[in-house]
Structure 1
């Protein structure tokens, strides 16, 4: 159970923060950057949910993903990979794969790369996708220096793919995608 009685503690005023195990680290530590970027992805998904055009299935998926991203942050904020803490599982990755496949089924294959945009929902899904990719890169950097649950990297990789397919769904199953025209601005 989480209980937050005091929000302003002044504990970070010197540029340090506490990890989930109580360890004090600099606020620019790789681990803090990684879960901070995950938090940023979660926030932009909150904005994306405002632009889903009344699609209750997409909203339910995004709500689950927002909760998953809190799990990802909880996993990352405690060093190590021990099972004594909340950890991301492969079941969460599998759910993303299943949803992605279901969303992708009615969408025609791509014949070009697509530019981020189209509908407001698709544009926000693309923004969320790019932040999820950055979170993945941050976690990979962290994993090169310290132990990270490998399911976190898999989850973030699947999430960016999921958000890409969602953007196509929100663009009328690809009908409103904006195709890249190579060299168009020469």
Structure 2
């Protein structure tokens, strides 16, 4: 199978059902950003500090592929046997966050992203996830988007924030609080 099809050379692509749309269509923006997020999560998984949670991160990546396929199908989703997103995917994230929160000092301030490449990678995943969430909300204002997708992305960005704090602790990196200028 060839990777290139030449069918997108004029700025259009096909949704899963075959409908042709502009590559700038809100649906393409949404699932393209989910794909970008999945790449960022793969990068995050590559850090040694994340080896013990590699299975969790792979589970998240698989769920992101599921999310992307649902978005790519759009209104035609009922015609396909697609993997499903479920409330259990959200509960998984919440349990993981609760577990990490039990091990972290309480937050007293906003924190500045950074301190180690692995911490920064978690923050990068968080902000790409937030962008994906915004794009899915934008799409939902025009077309059908399952509510679970938006809920999952909201929770996932929270997960990446808590994970960034956990990585900071595990690597013994200083967590720098935000100190707003008081001019």
Unaligned 5+ segments in structure 2 are none
Q: Is the 8 A contact 2:34 2:129 kept in 1?
A: yes
Task: Tell me by how many angstroms 1:175 deviates.
Answer: 6.1
Equivalent position of 1:42 in the other structure: 38
Equivalent position of 1:180 in the other structure: 178
- Any idea what SS the aligned residue of 1:127 has? helix
For residues 126-170 of structure 1, what are the alpha-carbon distances to aligned partners after superposition, in whole Å with 9 as ceiling and x for unaligned? 001000000000000000000011110011001000000000000
- Any idea what SS the aligned residue of 1:97 has? helix
Give TM-score scaled by structure 2 length: 0.92
Instruction: Choose which of 119, 136, 141 in structure 1 pairs with 2:138.
Output: 141
Deviating more after overlay: 160-169 vs 84-93: 84-93
Equivalent position of 1:24 in the other structure: 20
Task: Tell me by how many angstroms 1:52 deviates.
Answer: 4.1
- Any idea what SS the aligned residue of 1:6 has? coil
Equivalence map 1:110-121=2 (5 Å)? 110-121=107-118
Identify if the C-alpha distance between structure 1 residues 168 and 89 changes in structure 2 by more than 3 Å, giving closer, same or farther. same
Equivalent position of 1:6 in the other structure: 2
Equivalent position of 2:121 in the other structure: 124
- Any idea what SS the aligned residue of 2:74 has? coil
Q: Does 1:15 align with 2:21?
A: no
Q: Does 1:99 align with 2:69?
A: no
Unaligned 5+ segments in structure 1 are none
Q: Which has the higher helix share?
A: 2
**Equivalent-residue separation in structure 1 for 2:48 and 2:22 (angstroms):** 38
Deviating more after overlay: 114-123 vs 146-155: 114-123
Give TM-score scaled by structure 1 length: 0.90
**Equivalent-residue separation in structure 2 for 1:49 and 1:86 (angstroms):** 23
**Equivalent-residue separation in structure 2 for 1:163 and 1:52 (angstroms):** 17
